[in-house]
Amino acid sequence: MTSPTDPGARARMPGRRLTEPLEALAQRVARQAVELVVEALDVNALLDQVDVNRLIDRVDVDQLVARVDVDAILDRVDVDRLVDRVDVDALLDRTEIRSVLSRSSSTIASEGIDLVRSQAVGLDDFIARWVSRLRRRSYSGPPALPGSPARHGSPALPGSPSLQAGQ
Amino acid sequence: MTATAAASAAAAQPRLRDHYAGFASRFAGYAVDLGVSTGLFMLALAAISFAASVLTGDSIHWNKSEGWVAVAFVAWQFVYYAYSWAANGKTFGMALLGIRVVRAGGGDAGAGRAVLRTLAFPLSFLLLGLGFAGIVLGRDRRALHDVIAGTAVIYTWDARSARLGFLHRDGPGG
């Protein structure tokens, strides 16, 4: 917009009157020319001529990566919001982690109890063997309750070596 | 160890179920029970103390030398052992160690024998611990309180089964 107080405005008025239509004409001509060129252009043929591998070879990836400011990118990432969007329960449901964890816990507990019992039985056997030795008697393992299948049906107890092997 | 060798080792394991339990298993079970029963008693005292302080505003400090605390402790011990042996033949510690109180001839101890065993239990201590000598020296591994109550303590778990359980868990399908 020209100011009424601008002394050069009046002098520029005839020139502007001439250049504005010419500019508009030039833009129309350029647009038409570009459309004609684009229509005439075979993009596939053009791409066929481009050697992509050679192009990639010329790219210095290290230099490209060096120019990337990873810290700045990470600063822009809202990790809390990202984590909030992750449905951990759904994720765990898709895996067998829960069943594996519960199975592992019960297995560890069971093995722990078996271990404690085995240690105690080993010690029972150790004490009994030493007492038998002091009393000059043979020891063939702990006696079974009368009338129990262990007394009648089970094989003879092999004694301490096998007991200790089971610990 | 290969699966075959492990299976052979498992087959060579003695079956412990229904055999008389030894001194170490019984003593370990008793130690666990002593800890558990004493812990529960202390917890109960703390709960009573807390409740009293909330209701009356005065805090209660328990003293071991107070007669009624000792009586309450003895009564609690009686209930703990008698009830456990009468209900299923084992206390918590005995269950952990895989041992159980039964009648001397086999079968459940029953309430009467459980109460009698609990009452006779201190006798084994009072005779300078000689009441426990039967566990080490006797053929049936019975302590004095076992003889008085007509009971015995046996293993309720099976070393061979436990071993096979390990193999099952560690095996290709387990």
What's the number of domains chain A is made of? 1
Residue B150 dihedral angles phi and psi, to the nearest 5°: 70, 40
> Mapped to the 3 state alphabet, what secondary structure does B106-148 carry?
CCECHHHHHHHHHHHHHHHHHCCCHHHHHHHHCCCCCCHHHHH
**Which helix (H) or strand (E) element contains residue A137?**
none
- What is residue B84's three-state secondary structure? helix
Rounded Cα distance, B12 and A157, in Å: 9
> Who among A125, A144, A149 is closest to B22 (CB)?
A125
Asked whether residue A30 is assigned to any structural domain, the reply reads: yes
If one counts the domains in chain B, the total is: 1
Q: Report whether pLDDT(B5) > 70.
A: no
Q: pLDDT tens-digit profile of B35-79? A: 999 999 999 988 988 888 888 877 777 776 778 888 999 999 999
Residue with tokens 């160690």: B97
Task: State the virtual CA torsion across B39, B36, B150, B158 in degrees, nearest 10.
Answer: 180
From A135, A147, A150, residue closest to B105, measured CB to CB: A147
Rounded-to-integer distance, Cα A141 and Cα A82, Å: 65
The domain in which residue A72 lies consists of 15-86
Residues listed for chain B: 174
Whether residue B7 is contained in a domain is answered as no
Structure tokens at B109: 């101890």
- Label residue A112 exposed, middle or buried (CB < 10 Å: 0-12, 13-18, 19+): exposed
Residue B33 within a domain? yes
Beta bridge pairs of residue A115: none
B1 belongs to a structural domain: no
Query: Which among B173, B144, B154, B55 is positioned nearest to A151, based on CA atoms?
Result: B154
Tens digit of pLDDT per residue, chain A (167 long)? 445 566 666 666 767 777 888 888 999 999 999 888 888 888 888 888 888 888 888 888 888 888 888 888 888 888 888 888 888 888 877 777 777 887 788 888 888 888 899 899 999 999 999 999 998 888 888 888 887 766 654 443 333 333 433 33
Contact A114 B12 (CB under 8 A): no
Name the residue facing A124 among B12, B24, B140 (closest C-beta): B24
What's the pLDDT at A160?
37
Mean pLDDT of B102-109: 88
Whether A31 maps to a domain, the answer reads yes
pTM: 0.60
**B5: in domain:** no
Flag whether B51 is in a domain.
Answer: yes
Residue B129 placed within a domain:
yes
The identity of residue B96, as a single letter, is L
The three-state secondary structure class of B89 is: coil
Whether B102 sits inside 8 A of A145 (CB atoms) is yes
Judge: A121–B166 Cβ closer than 8 Å, yes or no.
no
What pLDDT score does A163 carry? Answer: 42
Host H or E run for residue A157: none
End-to-end C-alpha distance for chain A, whole angstroms: 101
Q: What is the ipTM of this complex?
A: 0.76
Query: How many A×B Cβ pairs under 8 Å?
Result: 106
Interface touch A121/B25, C-beta < 8 Å: yes
By the CB < 8 Å criterion, does A162 face chain B? Answer: yes
Measured between alpha carbons, how far is residue A143 from residues A101, A133, B154 in Å? 40, 17, 10
Please state, in angstroms and rounded to a whole number, the distance separating the CA atoms of residues B100 and B8.
Answer: 29
Strand partners, B101: B153
Q: How far is B54 from chain A (nearest CA, A)?
A: 39
Mutation site, A107, A117, A136, A148, interface B, largest B CB count within 10 A: A117
Instruction: Among B14, B25, B155, select the one facing A158 at the smallest CB separation.
Output: B14
Count CB-CB contacts under 10 A for residue A143. 16
* Whole-number Å distance between alpha carbons of A101 and A97: 6
Structure tokens at A97: 């982690």
CA distance B43 to B26: 25
In whole angstroms, how far apart are CA A20 and each of A25, A26, A27, B54, B96?
9, 10, 11, 94, 101
B80 occurs within a structural domain: yes
Task: Give residue A69's Cα distance to chain centre.
Answer: 23
The C-alpha atoms of residue B57 and residue A74 are separated, in whole angstroms, by: 57
Does the distance separating the beta carbons of A116 and B96 come in below 8 Å? Answer: yes
- The type of residue at B139 is R
Residues 61-120 of B with CB under 8 A from A: 96-98, 102, 105-106
